[in-house]
Amino acid sequence: MLGNEATIEQLERVINYTKTNDKPLLDVFKGTTDRGVPSHLIKCLSYFKLFPSNFEISARRLVTLWVAEGLIQQRGDDEETPEEVAEKYLSELISRNMVQVVERKLSGKVKKCCLPIALRQIWLQNNESLDHRLADHFDTHDQCFGHIHGEGSTMTRDLQNYKHLVSFLSFDNREGNKPGEEIGNFLRRGIGFGYFHKLHVLDLEGVFRPQLPDSIVKLSKLRYLGLRWTYLETIPSCIGKLVHLETLDVKHTYVRTVPNSIWKLQKLRHLYLNQRYRSQIMRHPSGSSLKNLQTLWGIFVSKDSPVEDGLDKLVNLRKLGLAFDLDESQQVALRKWIAKLNHLQSLRLRSIDEMGEPCQMFLESFAFLKNLSSLELFGRLKNTSVVDNLPDKLTSLTLSASFLIDDPMPVLEKLPTLTLLCLYGNSYTGQQMVCSTGKFPQLLVLRIWKLEELIELEVNENALQNLRELDIRSCGKLEVPAGLKHLKTLIELKLSDMPLAFAEKIEIEKKNFWDDIMYAPSITVSN
């Protein structure tokens, strides 16, 4: 049932069979898992019980939680990070059809997943303990409902049930201040009575403005603090006392400044900030360094938050996403810092002014970043030769507001592993782009958006021979490319905000373009 060939429909048939034959579902499931599914995968799968039914779980969130919970087995000689091992666990569960992919990123990586309903029915019959883990679904039938959302006098005597609590997740997504107040009171009482001191995970993602008590610093074993989409304006200034913290997520909040005590978190591995609200880290105190930090995403850098003697101490990053408002001389330190990031896999840079409009980027070669696979650049490239010196391992490239004058395709087509290419507004200001014969052999997705001067897109024979998706948006002068007929692997052609005549001609010509293949691509037209 749970081998690689199993499907969700087969799981449902097993459930129906057991119902008609009076055989307990759990017995069937246990018999199967004992024969084939490793115990470490079963533990990871069990974790889905904490999430509400039909809940679409971010792969990023799930993987990081698994690591924080200690569910990942890592060999001593393993060069992979715990997160990379966790991603393999997730991939294996998906390949066994035990976890269902809900959404993928453009790169093909899993973005959201869920536990199939059929399998969830089996798990709910399993009354085994979740090892002192608590999930608040704001369900009046849950035993914990009154403890979290009831009156203080009625819940205090029951808090001893959570003396050994290691994880608390809340999915109370009601509007208004009530969720934040109730969660705050629950935490304040629990910490005050000394019952939450073993907590490893505190995940309040989506809870509106939870009132974090100052006593949160007593959670000395906390590894994961999830505050994404909470719209908090501040975080406790004493955050640096959570010395075992590995993940701090304040993305999609109003937090503008992270206190400098964060530099004391020597075990911190992932820090997610909110770039839109120009989140900055306070100045770096001497003698402190986040040497284990692997993810720094959403930070804003200005002349008031210098890179030198601060951020440039972070040299083990694998993912870096930042926006900056720096002049040419101030960008020198930024370039030098990035040049030291030998482990970097994903990089997003945005040069913006006070209004968020693109500014000049004084960048040089990225060829030295041998492990870089994903690159996003937003800003006017002062040195356009940057695109001539990209790493060979690059699989995903996004350019916006680059204002390239020369056709970038002859350079980009030399990247042997590129699978995703997005050319957004004003990335190229010329009139012609050419995809040469035999080039872009691995490209799966090509997006061409808001190239207002582009007239001709030439696709030569045997170019883009693996392309699955072509997305064209707001290119008002573009003529219908005759070379579309060469795209034999195309699955979807998306046209958005294109002239009516363009879409009509595509509809007329599609039989001529793809009459020699069994399945013509679907064509989606929208404004």
Residue count (the chain): 527
Q: Which residues of 165-194 are buried (b: 16+ CB within 10 A; e: fewer)?
A: bbbbbbbbeeeeeebbebbbbbbbbbbeee
Q: What is the DSSP letter of 521?
A: P
Of 514, 509, 460, 510, which is closest to residue 483 (Cα–Cα)? Answer: 460
Strand order in the sheet with 110-114: 57-58, 110-114, 100-104
Other CB atoms within a 10 A radius of the CB of residue 522 amount to 10
Strand, helix or coil at 358? Answer: strand
Q: In angstroms, rounded to a whole number, what is the distance separating the alpha carbons of residues 179 and 288?
A: 36
User: What confidence score (pLDDT) does residue 9 get?
Assistant: 56
Q: How far is CA 483 from CA 2, 111, 290, 434, 460, in A?
A: 45, 32, 51, 10, 6
Which amino acid appears at position 105 of this protein?
K
Domain spans in the chain, listed from the N-terminal domain onward = 8-124, 364-527
The yes-or-no answer to whether 8-124 and 364-527 have a common fold is: no
Q: Is 117 exposed, middle or buried (0-12, 13-18, 19+ CB in 10 A)?
A: middle
Q: Is 413 exposed, middle or buried (0-12, 13-18, 19+ CB in 10 A)?
A: buried
Of 17, 109, 129, which is closest to residue 63 (Cα–Cα)? Answer: 109
Residue appearing with tokens 């720094």: 296
Residue 390 structure tokens: 């990209």
- β-bridge mates for residue 202, sequence order: 168, 225
CA dihedral 367, 372, 374, 375 (to 10 degrees): -40
H-run or E-run covering 400: strand 396-400
Contacts of 390 (CB under 8 A, 6+ apart): 366, 367, 375, 397, 412, 415
Other CB atoms within a 10 A radius of the CB of residue 301 amount to 24
Q: In angstroms, rounded to a whole number, what is the distance separating the alpha carbons of residues 387 and 236?
A: 42
Residue 44, phi then psi, degrees to nearest 5: -65, -40
Q: What is the DSSP letter of 429?
A: -
- Domain 364-527 is of which CATH architecture? Alpha-Beta Horseshoe (3.80)
User: What confidence score (pLDDT) does residue 1 get?
Assistant: 45
Radius of gyration of the chain (CA): 26
- β-bridge mates for residue 271, sequence order: 248, 296
Which amino acid appears at position 388 of this protein?
D
CA 449 distance to own-chain centroid: 23
User: What confidence score (pLDDT) does residue 25 get?
Assistant: 47
Q: In angstroms, rounded to a whole number, what is the distance separating the alpha carbons of residues 339 and 333?
A: 10
Pick the CATH number of 8-124 from 2.60.120.1440, 3.10.129.10, 1.10.10.10, 3.30.70.20: 1.10.10.10
Residue 319 structure tokens: 């993912």
Residue 240 structure tokens: 């640096």
Residues 177 and 145 sit within 8 Å (Cβ to Cβ): no
Residue 220 structure tokens: 């000395």
Residues 521 and 496 sit within 8 Å (Cβ to Cβ): no
Other CB atoms within a 10 A radius of the CB of residue 293 amount to 24
Residue 394 structure tokens: 């690059």
User: What confidence score (pLDDT) does residue 22 get?
Assistant: 46
- Return per-residue pLDDT of the chain as tens, 527 residues: 444 444 555 555 555 544 454 444 455 455 445 457 888 998 999 899 899 988 999 999 999 999 999 999 877 666 789 999 999 999 999 999 899 999 999 888 999 999 988 788 776 666 455 678 999 998 887 878 888 887 654 455 677 778 889 999 999 999 999 999 999 999 999 998 888 999 999 999 999 999 999 999 999 999 999 999 999 999 988 899 999 999 999 999 999 888 888 999 999 999 999 988 788 887 766 656 788 999 999 999 988 777 877 888 899 999 999 999 999 999 999 999 999 999 999 999 999 998 889 999 999 889 999 999 999 999 999 988 899 999 999 999 999 999 999 999 999 999 999 999 999 999 999 999 999 999 999 999 999 999 999 999 999 999 999 999 999 999 999 999 988 989 989 999 999 999 999 999 998 888 888 877 778 888 999 98
